[in-house]
Amino acid sequence: MAGDTMRFRNPAGHAGLLNNLLSLANTLAGFFESRIGLFARESKTALVHLLLLAGGLVGGLVLVAFGYVFLLVSAIFGIAHAAGISWVWIAFGAGILHLVLALGCALFAKAQLSKPMFKASVAELKKDREWLKTLDKKNQSPS
């Protein structure tokens, strides 16, 4: 026993570097495969959830539009009956009012579009370009 040599214990096993690297690659591939499978299942569930959400939103908007139309028609006929005027003239006035309001919304949107967005980012990028130009000029000057 005193003369017996103690065997070297390799914690990684006796497979060698190549087999250990292949085992690592196989384990990583299995890990990523399981994560991709989980992502695929969850993305399908999320897609169904978003489609249901979009369907509910579209349905709600359609019902709001119908409610608005019915309310507008009722108001037109109510005003025409109370004022003793033909409903056609009241409907014409309501149409003109809606066109004026739509024009106001369009002008407001146009005014918002004319304002530059991301002012700070554009200014920072402009400073970066100027710095790069000065850096390029310094590199081109003869030393």
Residue of 12, 14, 36, 34 lying closest to 24 (CA atoms):
12
Mean pLDDT, range 71-86, rounded to an integer: 95
Mean pLDDT, range 68-79, rounded to an integer: 96
Helix ranges (DSSP H) in the chain: 17-83, 87-114, 119-140
Mean pLDDT, range 25-40, rounded to an integer: 90
Mean pLDDT, range 36-40, rounded to an integer: 87
pLDDT at 117: 83
Secondary structure letter of residue 116 according to DSSP? P
| Joined tokens for residue 61 | 């908007």
Percent pLDDT > 70 in the chain is: 87
pLDDT at 6 over 60: no
pLDDT at 70: 97
pLDDT at 44: 87
Residue ranges of the domains in the chain?
A: 17-116
CB within 8 A of 75, min separation 6: which ones? 94
pLDDT at 8 over 80: no
pLDDT at 14: 66
pLDDT at 20: 87
* Per-residue pLDDT tens digits for 95-134: 999 999 999 999 999 999 888 888 888 888 899 899 888 8
pLDDT at 55: 96
Is the CB of residue 15 less than 8 Å from the CB of residue 23?
A: yes
pTM: 0.52
